[in-house]
């Protein structure tokens, strides 16, 4: 039986926590190592700046209510509440209980992000032909939580920052290279106490992280 | 703290089970009462025909693995595996572990269904201005499971049969009247043992169930 808290394999996400409980130092720039995930605990009112350091790296982003893990940032509920599938500056992102979780307060990228695609996971890489374990965003989420003493009760559908997945008028999707540039960042203010998790997507088979098929690091900072 | 198994209110879904454990009689046509949810246990190889009896009634549809409730039909994973947001005949619908759950084997409607919108829930109706409890699909899912002796561990994002939610090239969505007709049906074959749950969506504030704003019943049948 599938247990959502258990990763299918391991990587350095287990030892990449920013602190034992995930609490950050305000103003410090932290690194999300390539192919890994990192969690950060935020209190309501704090903002997080996620930085696309090298320009075309997708960040799978999640937020879980601190203290109530069955409530989390939900893309399907955001679609209703924002009236679209492409969140933009000013949009309030909501939980699966339609509570405000985060507000996008700034985004200096072209604003192309994805909200319809699940995180890559070990089953996905098996579909793509891998026979040995491949780093993946779902496991990075699980391990980033373990690294700060928490456990996933579910792997929510992510807010895929900078992921470029056009939806055609016929409802077809394609996997394209990001249109973001080095140093682009997005800022989101927490509207309740959350655990934010970021994964520097390790996808190196499709070009979602750029034509070089070379996943890179990301950075983030808690501001105010 | 939010507990996914507990409905926010109650309706006749609690007493609308087709049998004590949800096992069906093959060939019998069952009713999903207006504004209610019903669960049915299916073994691999059986097919379910969901019938839009009166023509413009949306059916929120879910499938959970029988015996492993953390694995369920996942729209975000289906988007990747089917390459689109509008499943059609021949498509294999997968779980959050990318296992085949159901194959669409027939659909005599125009094929307009939704996979990007969360189920309506009590918080949604509060956003829409309701001050007293309103029937909702999320609670119908929870209650349909309770009625056959099961419990929700999560309310998955539904496959919204006949729900007409166009996505514009700019990523905006709108809530439109279904384009289906009375008697249209969709047939899906179970590829593993599942509990299927259907809710006759009680939405009567937006026109997703037709301009009359009058939610109706649905019917379904297990075939072979």
Burial of B204 (0-12, 13-18, 19+ CB in 10 A): middle
User: What are A222's two structure tokens?
Assistant: 């808690």
Q: Which residue of A has its CA nearest to B4?
A: A70
Q: Express each pLDDT in A161-176 by its tens digit.
A: 999 999 998 999 999 9
Q: Where are the beta strands (DSSP E) in B10-58?
A: 29-32, 37-42, 47-52
Phi, psi of A81, rounded to the nearest 5 degrees: -70, -30
Q: Express each pLDDT in A91-112 by its tens digit.
A: 999 999 999 999 999 999 999 9
The three-state secondary structure class of A144 is helix
Residue in B84, B169, B171 nearest the CB of A173: B84
Residue B8 has pLDDT above 90, yes or no: yes
Residue A224 has pLDDT above 90, yes or no: no
Chain A residues with CB under 8 Å of a chain B CB are: 1-4, 65, 67-68, 70-71, 74-77, 79-81, 83-86, 96-99, 116-118, 121, 123-124, 127, 154-155, 157, 167, 169-174
Q: Which stretch of DSSP H or E encloses residue A79?
A: helix A75-82
| Record: contact B118-A79, CB cut-off 8 A | yes
The minimum CA-CA distance between B16 and chain A, rounded to whole Å, is 26
What is the per-residue pLDDT for B224? 82
The upper half-sphere exposure of residue A218, i.e. CA atoms within 13 Å in the direction of its Cβ, equals 32
User: What are B158's two structure tokens?
Assistant: 């539904």
d(CA B136, CA B162): 17
Interface test with B, best of A58, A101, A118, A122 (most B CBs within 10 A): A118
> Could you tell me if the ipTM is greater than 0.90?
yes
What is the per-residue pLDDT for A124? 96
pTM of the model: 0.97
User: What are the structural domain ranges in chain A?
Assistant: 36-211
Nearest of B18, B188, B43 to residue B113 by alpha carbon: B188
């Amino acid at each position: 039986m599938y247990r959502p808290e258990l990763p299918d394999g391991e990587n350095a996400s287990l030892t990449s926590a920013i602190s034992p409980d995930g609490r950050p130092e305000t103003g410090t720039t932290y690194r999300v190592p390539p192919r890994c995930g990192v969690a950060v605990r935020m209190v309501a009112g704090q903002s997080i700046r996620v930085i696309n350091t090298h320009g075309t790296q997708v960040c799978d982003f999640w937020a879980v209510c601190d203290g109530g893990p069955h409530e989390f940032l939900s893309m399907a509920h955001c679609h209703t509440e924002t009236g679209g599938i492409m969140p933009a500056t000013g949009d309030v992102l909501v939980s699966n209980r339609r509570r405000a979780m985060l507000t996008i307060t700034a985004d200096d990228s072209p604003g192309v992000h994805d909200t319809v695609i699940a995180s890559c996971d070990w089953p996905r890489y098996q579909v793509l032909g891998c026979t040995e374990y491949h780093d993946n965003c779902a496991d990075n989420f699980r391990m980033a939580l373990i690294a700060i003493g928490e456990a996933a009760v579910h792997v929510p559908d992510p807010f895929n920052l900078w992921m470029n997945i056009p939806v055609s008028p016929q409802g077809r999707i394609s996997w394209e290279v990001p249109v973001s540039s080095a140093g682009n960042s997005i800022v989101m203010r927490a509207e309740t106490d959350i655990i934010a998790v970021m994964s520097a997507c390790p996808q190196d088979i499709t070009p979602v992280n750029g034509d070089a098929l070379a996943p890179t690091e990301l950075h983030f900072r808690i501001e105010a």
